[in-house]
Amino acid sequence: MYTLIIGKIIMAGMLMSCSGKEDLKPLPPDNTQVVAGPPTDKGWAFETTPVWADEFTTSGAPDGTKWGYDLGGTGWGNNELQNYTNSSSNASISNGVLTITARKETSGTNAYSSARLVTKGKGDFLYGRFEIKAKLPSGRGTWPAIWMLPTDFAYGQWPKSGEIDIMEHVGYDPTNVHITVHTEAYNGAIGTQKGDAKKIVDAFDAFHIYRVDWTPYAVRGYIDDQKIFEFVNDGKGYATWPFDKKFHLLLNVAVGGNWGGAQGVDESVFPKAMEVDYVRVYKMIDK
């Protein structure tokens, strides 16, 4: 019995020696994303003078210090039919208006041509008020858009880094104009995108003001100063709210595609154009 007790004491001492602080191994790091929770709406306001704008007062090609072009006719992920060019026949300014025209003509290997103007590298913004006055094209198969994409895709390729559609329209649904956001959790590829629409019976005949107010709390969409859409930051991370990085603006008229061509394309309606009177960006006043 005594020998057994002594053995146990010696064994315990050995274990204590082997478990000294100098031999302790740190716990593996906790890589779980820390979620702070939803932000507070601070009621942010916006400056009254634009921080970036184009009034399209100079005739000719769009201002190269403000606009670049996305080029090509690969379908753009939506099976679109147009080839985007930098030709003046597809994008030009006259009488104070930018006109983006989709045409039925051979362009590259495509049967239609059009233009997609972008401010990437020339106008990149984190939060703000984005206001565009535009008149839309009519006709089955047209798919004009005024929208925003992330400049750096910090969270990964679409839809992980987000998309904000300030105005989107498809010609076969003539009176509904849409404002939408896409994220990893909520996007058009899986039918979970978040958006709303307003009936605009003269969208083809008159200019209307399409606007998004983007703050850390929400993306809010307006048509003619009437709020029709709100998407609130739930504080759960980038899968639902990737809108904490810089975005840039895009203006384009697509032809056909998964949504725009869902009821076919009436080739007899072309050429068709979106006219833009101005683009104005107002800086958010931080609090």
Angle of CA points 176, 126, 47, to nearest 5° = 85
CB atoms within 10 A of CB 285: 12
Contact 39, 233 (CB under 8 A): yes
Catalytic-role residue among 131, 163, 184, 275: 163
DSSP secondary structure letter of residue 240? T
Residue 17: phi and psi, rounded to 5, are: -65, -40
Residue 141 contacts residue 260 (beta carbons within 8 Å): yes
Active-site residue among 55, 80, 131, 168?
168
How far apart CA 150 and CA 269 sit, in angstroms, is: 33
Residue 131: active-site member = no
Burial 237-270 (b: 16+ CB within 10 A, else e): ebebbbbebebbbbbbbbbbbebbbeeebeeebb
Which of 45, 38, 46 minimizes the C-alpha distance to 232?
Answer: 38
Identity of the residue numbered 171? G
CA gap 158, 160 in Å, rounded:
5
Q: Of 66, 44, 42, which is closest to residue 54 (Cα–Cα)?
A: 66
**Active-site residue 168, yes or no?**
yes
d(CA 168, CA 178): 5
Q: Which residues are catalytic?
A: 163, 168
